Amino acid sequence: MIGISFEINGKKVNPNNIGDALENAMLQQIGESIKKSIGSLRCNEHNQTPKVLVKGKSLDKLSIEVSGCCDDIIKKATDKLN
């Protein structure tokens, strides 16, 4: 399972734990679509999954940052997400 975390306006947020139902649904949806595109991705060399950080000043200005064990997996994940 890949790790996805969310950071809004500099604060880590847990999509399961957001009071606002609309924001909650939005983050869940983003998480789901990320899982769909790269959920099965794994580095052949290091046997690691990529990590994804969804961050932005607000919910309508989010960008996606991928980190991982090596440039190869980061590139693969980034390509799939774009």
Of 60 and 71, which has the nearer Cβ to Zn ion? Answer: 71
The Cα–Cα gap between 79 and 5 comes to 19
- Report the relative pairing of strands 51-56 and 11-13 from DSSP bridges: unpaired
Residues that bind Zn ion (CB under 5 A): 43, 45-46, 69-70, 73
Rounded to a whole number of angstroms, the minimum distance from the CB of residue 6 to Zn ion is 24
Cα 77 from Cα 36, distance rounded (Å): 12
Q: How far is the CB of 43 from Zn ion (least distance, A)?
A: 3
CB of 54 to Zn ion, least distance (A): 21
